[in-house]
């Protein structure tokens, strides 16, 4: 025996009922005996309640609403029953509506709508839908019979949520089904008292009907046909990556539903669970999808948890005081007082210090809870044993649920770590000793971010997202976007990572889109849909969006942007940048950025500040962490100058080589930054700080190579003109070096706590002699690399190598976030 139940949307339209009929036909063809339970057509129950209230309020318009309900049923008959058989069904429907109209007329006369009458009015929904579908089945030659559940399911007289008398009900069901072999079409949700007064079964009512019948008849299985693909790992409206849970245990389903998962309401399935009847949740609108199996023990699991659920809005009550320590009976009195006032408690947490107890409740009960407790503990409060009762609102609960937690360690570690890395504060937490559920209370404003971050970390075979907010779409930003575009497929398939470009801006336009700006048409989208750039607004909006795993990527050389780094890191947003301005500002600013990132558990990464993509900063940080001491750094840190001195020579104009360097993407947006030594100055300053020397910019000695006329030119174009004028100056420098068979090298040195930069000539014996292109070379002499220094060499400027260094920093954040 199998019991099928179809929910409101499944019987809500001609098309969906057609599918229902074909599902039933398929089951009948398979030969197993079935019974079927129907809900009212979608929306009808609520409409009937409304109509009842209108009638009670003396509003005659209820009749028009009633006509609409009637017409919906007529339309199904017209759509699905052959014309020659329609009239008897129309007459039966009309008969039922006559009865309902009489009742409503009574309600409008006496202007009163009792719970009892409301149950009677609501019962018409299931009676009508079931009648209509029974007639459709009969018209197709199927031996179907209408079964009014009021004949078989008996409850007490608690209207709105009758308490089932299982002894009588089970007996009646057995007797009823023994008498007939026809397909029974049973009205869901409704029942009656022993005296025949109509009652209803409360929340999940039609599931309950199916469960009661299946349990009484010892059915093998129940199929709950609804309008979603089964139970999901999280609410798909909040977590886009949520997916259907193939198999879930009764207890897990129960826990998830307690925390708001609404697909099924497990308490109503208790009778079936008690008899170990397997339940399947299936989708009428996606018939071939396998849905979710709910059974005593879930089948093998791929993940440590089964699902995530949440309650959007709760209030947290905290009662604390020194007088609670070691005093027995406080919690007994507390929870008795709440229970006597019908205030249901969702989560409880007490620290072992016994100094405080906190629990969460529905916010609509908050005021009452406070009054009840102040009364209960009036004496203790007046004596100062208990402080007054504190209530915090605008909070949410998230519960991670799964039997798998019992066997695997580190589940709570993972949960709290992902919340921490996303800067989400945990206000309270509780874990049942059944190890089935860990619940955390967080700010409501963090709910969506937390759900997505937790889902990403626990269901890792699903693609995770990193949300990138990129400022600067110039040479480096543009190249980075291009690299992201080319790697999208690889990262999705091989790394299960989605780099979602959630924000993009240049000096003109900005665009934020949490759903992502596709890297193949980013420039057009920003220019077409973007609004005028305002960096404060960009940062503000980004913080407001509060997306999980957010990363701010500064691809500008802007000096003012740095002021936002603190704000961002403080909001637990990691920062990646090739922009050297922040790290080469004041030493205290440098330290304070490092500290904020550390405190917030987020990353501030800037490998490309020195030597572009060459692994310089990471190497230093590794050596420092492992306790090495730096004795000396000697380096060529300018790709631009390297390129110039490697390509400048007799017959070549200096200005042309600089132009070439710019065109090849080696120079700073303003090449004077390179030629003046300022760029190298910043780099050696950053290296000094990284190796623990607290230098300020003005402590670095830079021997300028640019004549003043070039340096002071008002624009970059004017600067190039001045360079042409000064051509001889550079040519003679070069000639002098050539004459000695030496090469010009702009070398930065850090030794004994002092940094200097100067243009030197080096002979063929010097390790820096053989450089080509835009090569940088960095030689570290440390206690461990004393006799032969550690040398890193390679192209230290250029769009591709810089963008890929920025990309690598982004990837390292993705691994850190897990
Ligand atoms: N070229 C190279 O080899 C390397 C460059 N870098 C650094 O990369 C950074 C970027 O350099 P490029 O891409 O060459 O510069 P660029 O001038 O080509 O691009 C800068 C971009 O930032 C935008 N921008 C500037 N200020 C902005 C603001 N306040 N708000 C919004 N957008 C703003 C501009 O509109 C432009 O799209 C610089 O800090 C540079 O020092 C670092 C290592 C190597
Ligand atoms: N302009 C710089 C680029 C890297 O920071 C250089 O030339 O090295
Ligand atoms: Na680097």
Q: Is 607 in the pocket of ligand 1 (CB under 6 A)?
A: no
CA of 690 to the centre of ligand 3 (A): 13
pLDDT at 715: 92
pLDDT higher than 80, residue 301: no
d(CA 737, CA 649): 11
In terms of DSSP bridges, do strands 221-226 and 278-283 run parallel, antiparallel, or are they unpaired? parallel
CA of 411 to the centre of ligand 1 (A): 42
Q: Which residues lie with the beta carbon below 6 Å from any ligand 2 atom?
A: 612, 638-640, 666-668, 674, 679, 796-797
pLDDT at 48: 98
Residue whose Cα lies nearest atom 19 of ligand 1: it is 474
Ligand nearest to the CA of 667: 2
Of 152-161, 407-416, 681-690, the poorest mean pLDDT is in 407-416
pLDDT higher than 70, residue 354: no
CA of 476 to the centre of ligand 3 (A): 14
The minimum-distance atom of ligand 1 relative to the CA of 506 is 32
CA of 524 to the centre of ligand 1 (A): 19
pLDDT at 220: 96
Of 72-86, 155-169, 397-411, 756-770, the poorest mean pLDDT is in 397-411
CA of 538 to the centre of ligand 1 (A): 17
pLDDT at 707: 87
d(CA 550, CA 631): 38
Q: Is 666 in the pocket of ligand 1 (CB under 6 A)?
A: yes
- Rounded mean pLDDT of 575-593? 97
Sign of the torsion formed by the C-alpha atoms of 192, 193, 198 and 200 = negative
793 catalytically annotated = no
pLDDT in tens, 489-505: 999 999 889 999 999 99
The chain-wide mean pLDDT, for the chain, equals: 93
- Rounded mean pLDDT of 548-573? 94
CA of 797 to the centre of ligand 3 (A): 9
pLDDT in tens, 316-351: 999 988 877 777 788 889 999 999 999 989 888 877
pLDDT higher than 90, residue 806: yes
Helix, strand, or coil here: 498?
Answer: strand
pLDDT higher than 70, residue 352: no
**C-beta contacts of 19-27 below 8 A and 24+ residues apart:** 19/284, 19/285, 19/287, 20/133, 20/225, 20/284, 21/80, 21/133, 21/136, 21/137, 21/140, 23/225, 23/284, 23/287, 24/137, 24/142, 24/183, 25/140, 25/142, 27/2
Q: Which of the four pLDDT bands, split at 50, 70 and 90, describes residue 215? A: very high
pLDDT in tens, 406-431: 777 789 999 999 999 898 999 999 88
Q: Is 709 exposed, middle or buried (0-12, 13-18, 19+ CB in 10 A)?
A: middle
Of 76-90, 472-486, 712-726, 796-810, the poorest mean pLDDT is in 712-726
- Rounded mean pLDDT of 84-106? 97
Q: Is 505 in the pocket of ligand 1 (CB under 6 A)?
A: yes
Select from 611, 666, 793 the residue to mutate for testing ligand 2; criterion: most ligand atoms less than 8 Å from CB: 666
| 515's tokens | 């759903």
Q: Nearest 5 degrees, angle CA 620-CA 621-CA 627? A: 90
Q: Which of the four pLDDT bands, split at 50, 70 and 90, describes residue 613? A: very high
Report the candidate in 539, 616, 610 with the shortest Cα–Cα distance to residue 580: 610
Is-contact 543 571, C-beta < 8 A?
yes
What are the b/e assignments for 547-571, b being 16+ CB within 10 Å?
bbbbbbbbbbbeeebbebbbbbbeb
pLDDT in tens, 268-289: 889 999 999 999 999 999 999 9
Ligand nearest to the CA of 564: 1
- pTM strictly above 0.90: no
% of the chain residues with pLDDT over 70: 98
d(CA 253, CA 364): 26
DSSP label at residue 706: S
The minimum-distance atom of ligand 2 relative to the CA of 683 is 5
Phi, psi of 253, deg, nearest 5? -60, -40
Ligand nearest to the CA of 658: 2
pLDDT at 258: 74
pLDDT in tens, 661-673: 999 999 999 999 9
- Rounded mean pLDDT of 691-718? 91
pLDDT at 261: 67
Of the two residues 511 and 705, the one the predictor is more confident about is 511
Q: Is 533 in the pocket of ligand 1 (CB under 6 A)?
A: yes
pLDDT at 434: 67
Question: Residues 6 or more apart from 622 whose CB is under 8 A from it?
Answer: none
Tell me what percent of the chain is helix, strand and coil, each rounded to the nearest 5. 45, 20, 35
Q: Is 578 in the pocket of ligand 1 (CB under 6 A)?
A: yes
Ligand nearest to the CA of 805: 3
Is-contact 403 298, C-beta < 8 A?
yes
- Rounded mean pLDDT of 64-83? 97
pLDDT at 247: 93
pLDDT at 632: 98
Of 169-183, 403-417, 582-596, 735-749, the poorest mean pLDDT is in 403-417
pLDDT at 601: 87
pLDDT at 331: 84
pLDDT at 562: 92
Of 406-410, 456-460, 585-589, the poorest mean pLDDT is in 406-410
The minimum-distance atom of ligand 2 relative to the CA of 640 is 7
- Rounded mean pLDDT of 534-557? 95
Q: Is 471 in the pocket of ligand 1 (CB under 6 A)?
A: yes
Q: Is 504 in the pocket of ligand 1 (CB under 6 A)?
A: no
The minimum-distance atom of ligand 1 relative to the CA of 639 is 3
pLDDT at 263: 80
% of the chain residues with pLDDT over 90: 80
- Rounded mean pLDDT of 285-312? 89
Q: Is 473 in the pocket of ligand 1 (CB under 6 A)?
A: yes
pLDDT at 476: 98
CA of 621 to the centre of ligand 3 (A): 12
Q: Is 139 in the pocket of ligand 1 (CB under 6 A)?
A: no
Catalytic residue among 414, 603, 683, 743: 683
d(CA 252, CA 272): 15
Cα end-to-end span (Å), the chain? 47
């Amino acid at each position: 025996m199998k019991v099928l139940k179809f929910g409101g949307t499944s019987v809500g339209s001609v098309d969906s009922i057609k599918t229902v009929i074909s599902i039933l036909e398929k089951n009948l063809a398979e030969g197993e005996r079935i019974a079927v339970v129907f809900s009212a057509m979608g929306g009808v129950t609520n409409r009937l309640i409304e109509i009842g209230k209108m009638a009670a309020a003396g509003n005659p318009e209820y009749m028009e609403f009633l006509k609409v309900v009637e017409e919906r049923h007529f339309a199904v008959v017209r759509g699905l029953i052959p014309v020659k058989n329609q009239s008897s069904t129309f007459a039966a429907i009309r008969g039922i509506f006559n009865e309902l109209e009489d009742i409503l007329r009574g309600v409008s006369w006496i202007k009163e709508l009792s719970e009892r009458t409301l149950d009677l009015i609501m019962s018409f929904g299931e009676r009508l839908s079931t009648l209509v579908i029974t007639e459709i089945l009969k018209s197709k030659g199927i031996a179907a019979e209408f079964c009014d559940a009021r004949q078989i399911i008996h409850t007490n007289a608690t209207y709105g949520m009758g308490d089932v008398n299982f002894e009588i009900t089970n007996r009646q069901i057995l007797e009823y089904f023994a008498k007939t072999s026809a397909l029974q079409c049973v009205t869901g949700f409704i029942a009656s008292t022993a005296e025949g007064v109509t009652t209803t079964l409360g929340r999940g009512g039609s599931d309950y009907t199916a469960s009661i019948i299946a349990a009484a008849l010892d059915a093998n299985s129940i199929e709950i046909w609804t309008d979603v693909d089964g139970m999901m790992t999280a609410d798909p409206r909040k977590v886009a990556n949520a997916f259907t849970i193939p198999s879930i245990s009764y207890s897990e389903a129960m826990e998830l539903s307690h925390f708001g998962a609404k697909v099924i309401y497990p308490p109503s399935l208790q009778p079936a669970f008690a008899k170990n009847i397997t339940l399947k949740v299936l989708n009428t609108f996606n018939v071939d999808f396998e849905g979710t199996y709910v059974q005593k023990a879930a089948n093998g699991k791929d993940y440590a948890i089964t699902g995530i659920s949440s309650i959007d809005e709760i209030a947290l009550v905290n009662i604390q005081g020194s007088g609670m320590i070691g005093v027995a009976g406080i919690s007994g009195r507390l929870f008795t007082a709440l229970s006597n006032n019908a205030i249901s408690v969702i989560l409880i947490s007490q620290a072992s210090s016994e100094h405080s107890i906190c629990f969460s409740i529905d916010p609509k009960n908050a005021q009452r809870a406070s009054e009840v407790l102040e009364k209960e503990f009036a004496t203790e409060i007046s004596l100062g044993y208990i402080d007054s009762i504190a209530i915090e609102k605008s909070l949410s609960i998230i519960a991670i649920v799964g039997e798998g937690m019992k066997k695997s360690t580190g589940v709570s570690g993972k949960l709290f770590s992902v919340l921490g890395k996303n800067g989400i504060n945990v206000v309270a937490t509780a874990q049942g000793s059944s190890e089935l559920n860990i619940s955390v209370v967080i700010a409501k404003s963090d709910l969506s971010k937390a759900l997505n971050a937790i889902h990403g970390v626990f269901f890792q075979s699903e693609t995770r997202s990193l949300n990138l907010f990129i400022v600067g779409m110039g040479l480096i930003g543009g190249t980075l976007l291009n690299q992201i575009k080319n790697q999208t497929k690889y990262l999705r398939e091989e790394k299960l990572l989605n780099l979602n470009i959630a924000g993009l801006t240049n000096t003109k336009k900005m665009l934020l889109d949490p759903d992502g700006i596709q890297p193949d048409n980013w420039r057009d989208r920003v220019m077409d849909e973007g609004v005028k750039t305002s960096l404060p607004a960009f940062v503000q909006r980004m913080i407001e969006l509060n997306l999980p795993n957010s990363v701010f990527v500064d691809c500008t050389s802007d000096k003012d942007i740095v002021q936002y780094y603190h704000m961002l890191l403080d909001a637990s947003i990691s920062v990646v940048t090739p922009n050297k301005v922040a790290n080469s500002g004041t030493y205290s600013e440098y330290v304070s950025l490092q500290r904020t990132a550390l405190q917030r558990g987020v990353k501030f990464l800037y490998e490309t500040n020195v030597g572009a993509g060459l692994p310089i900063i990471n190497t230093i940080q590794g050596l420092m962490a492992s306790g090495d001491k730096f004795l000396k750094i000697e380096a060529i840190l300018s790709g631009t100058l390297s390129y110039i001195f490697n390509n400048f020579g007799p017959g070549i104009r200096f200005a042309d080589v600089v132009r070439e360097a710019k065109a090849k993407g080696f120079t700073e947006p303003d090449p004077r930054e390179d030629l003046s030594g300022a760029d190298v100055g910043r780099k050696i300053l950053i290296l000094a700080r990284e190796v623990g020397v607290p230098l300020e910019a003005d402590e670095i000695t830079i021997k300028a190579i640019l004549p003043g006329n070039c340096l002071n030119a008002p624009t970059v174009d004017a600067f190039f003109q001045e360079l042409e004028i000064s051509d001889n100056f550079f040519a003679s420098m070069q000639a002098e070096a050539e004459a000695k068979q030496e090469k010009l090298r702009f070398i930065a040195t850090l030794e004994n706590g002092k940094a200097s930069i100067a243009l030197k000539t080096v002979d063929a014996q010097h390790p820096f002699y053989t450089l080509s292109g835009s090569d940088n070379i960095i030689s570290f002499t440390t206690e461990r690399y004393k006799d032969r220094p550690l040398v890193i060499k390679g192209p230290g400027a250029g769009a591709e190598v810089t963008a890929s260094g920025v990309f690598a920093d982004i990837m390292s954040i993705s691994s850190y976030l897990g």
